[in-house]
Structure 1
């Protein structure tokens, strides 16, 4: 994609899809508010290693000419954190920012309880979750965040799938917005979009 506009890269969660609610709400908002950016939501494969390669290729190519702003939901937040750190290894001054939303912190530990048959209810794909998936996720763990000021954590205390407190600790040196209540899907996401965009860049704030 050849463009000078900032790239907003949305990374969806486990067994999710570009058709998920937040992906669609963000896309519609960017369109109706005429936000000057390109918006991409890749459809993730079941294999973490392949997802990581694809996301890195996409983001690193874009960073050659423009800023990249990453949003990662749930498992996508884990991928997104790895991606940002991997990009900063290439160039610590890359214009990259990240907003993890109810992010998974150590998903490879949680996946032990999900081993076996899985189905993506958006596209109908069926597969077997194995220890190989877990090992690939472990390889994406990053020990430290090198640009914490460029990460804004969004989490809700009512998350029924993940313990929000683990994200609070993981991103403790980052700006944080923790909402009381809510759920794993992040209630009120549409109203939170302006907060995300203003964190990324003043150029993305909707014109009144």
Structure 2
């Protein structure tokens, strides 16, 4: 399963989600794709992600997180030992989203969400102080991100496989050129390691 977690005010109709879903469909792998609409509550988001994985047949899981979804993906990767791809991930969302308390419009399909102080507290509770096993992560960080600071991303994921994109933007507008690289990482991360050899 490839579990995609979208960003703040976004949806399964986000640009990168649609690119990934279309590529998997082209490859005849559409059944691997899972991209839910996430609730505004961070704790409810984590519970939904875990429920979707638990309800699926036993299989490998890779989580892909964009922006705020990258923050959630990091929490899940550390908790469940899942490999994770992080696309311009949020690093301190409880700080950044403090300016967005109240009703906020959604990017796709109309509608809105209401961000409350308790949601910032929930984000704080999900914080990962420092990552373990950097090899489980693949970080995409764009120097031209107009929303988040790529330097914070690099500092949070030391030792992780990293693609530093010169320029670009928060949405990673040229993402189609990276989609096969993302899927190759998902596939490689989910290959069973060889069984240890028995001592003679």
Q: Taking structure 1 as the reference length, what is the TM-score of the superposition?
A: 0.85
Q: Distance between the aligned counterparts of 1:203 and 1:130, measured in 2?
A: 37
**How far does the alpha carbon of each residue in 1:98-157 deviate from its partner, in whole angstroms, 9 at most, with x for none?**
100000001000011112221113132323322111001111101222221010101110
Give SS of 1:117's match: strand
Q: Distance between the aligned counterparts of 1:203 and 1:129, measured in 2?
A: 35
Q: Distance between the aligned counterparts of 1:169 and 1:145, measured in 2?
A: 11
Contact 1:73/1:101, CA 8 A, preserved across alignment: yes
Provide closer, same or farther for how the CA distance between residues 44 and 199 of structure 1 changes in structure 2, counting only shifts above 3 A.
same
Give SS of 1:160's match: coil
CA RMSD of aligned residues (A): 1.8
Corresponding pairs, count: 190
Contact 1:56/1:87, CA 8 A, preserved across alignment: no
Residue 77 of structure 1 pairs with residue 70 of structure 2: yes
Contact 2:136/2:189, CA 8 A, preserved across alignment: no
Tell me the residue number matched to 1:187: 173
User: Which aligned pairs between 1:12-23 and structure 2 lie closer than 5 A?
Assistant: 12-23=6-17
Deviation, structure 1 residue 33? 2.4
Deviation, structure 1 residue 59? 2.7
Provide closer, same or farther for how the CA distance between residues 78 and 126 of structure 1 changes in structure 2, counting only shifts above 3 A.
same
Q: Which runs of 5+ in 2 are unaligned?
A: 191-200
Tell me the residue number matched to 2:47: 53
Q: Taking structure 2 as the reference length, what is the TM-score of the superposition?
A: 0.88
Q: Distance between the aligned counterparts of 2:112 and 2:185, measured in 1?
A: 37
User: Which aligned pairs between 1:105-120 and structure 2 lie closer than 5 A?
Assistant: 105-120=91-106
Contact 1:8/1:37, CA 8 A, preserved across alignment: no
Q: Distance between the aligned counterparts of 2:139 and 2:72, measured in 1?
A: 14
2:25 to 31, 44, 62: 31
